[in-house]
């Protein structure tokens, strides 16, 4: 039996398939998931599970170098934005329009995880990164300039 981390077999397996620059989208209960998307539906009831719990668990399993959220999160759901900034403090943040989150970002996602969240603009993209010290910290390896500050 697995000791810790995400126990949901489908989600755990999907996370194991992600590589550098892959995008995983964690969405609220009302997100229109495209038919051809790799959908993992965790929603049981309103706010069960909630967005932050699922994102926090995923944050414990992935290296996240980028966070994508709707520009409405910054202006209209600042508590969520503050939580994201503190949870993913080392990540680069970007915004897209709400319409782009529903279309372009959803189409780019390798995996879409539906939560039970009833949270406005609760649709967050996580861009997978690499553990820079583990990849570039070996003897004789010179990290590229864009990773030097992460060593």
CA 25/CA 70 separation, integer angstroms: 12
Q: Is 98 assigned a catalytic role?
A: no
Instruction: Output b/e per residue, 92-108; b: 16+ Cβ within 10 A.
Output: eeebbebeebbeebbee
CB atoms within 10 A of CB 18: 19
DSSP character for 45?
A: B
Parallel, antiparallel or unpaired: strands 23-27 and 124-128:
antiparallel
Inter-residue contact 5 to 60 (CB < 8 Å):
yes
- Residues with a known catalytic role: 20
């Amino acid at each position: 039996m697995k000791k810790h981390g995400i126990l949901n077999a489908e989600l755990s397996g999907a996370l194991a398939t992600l590589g550098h620059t892959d995008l995983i989208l964690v969405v609220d209960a009302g997100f229109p998931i495209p038919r051809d998307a790799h959908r993992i539906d965790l929603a049981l009831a309103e706010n069960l599970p909630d967005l932050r719990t699922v994102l926090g668990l995923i944050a414990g399993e992935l290296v996240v170098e980028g966070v994508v959220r709707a520009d409405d999160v910054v202006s209209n759901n600042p508590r969520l934005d503050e939580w994201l900034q503190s949870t993913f403090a080392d990540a680069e943040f970007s915004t897209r329009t709400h319409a782009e989150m529903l279309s372009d970002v959803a189409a780019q996602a390798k995996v879409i995880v539906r939560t039970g969240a009833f949270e406005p603009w609760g649709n967050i993209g996580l861009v997978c990164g690499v553990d820079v010290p583990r990849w570039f910290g070996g003897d004789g390896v010179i990290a590229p300039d864009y990773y030097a500050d992460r060593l």
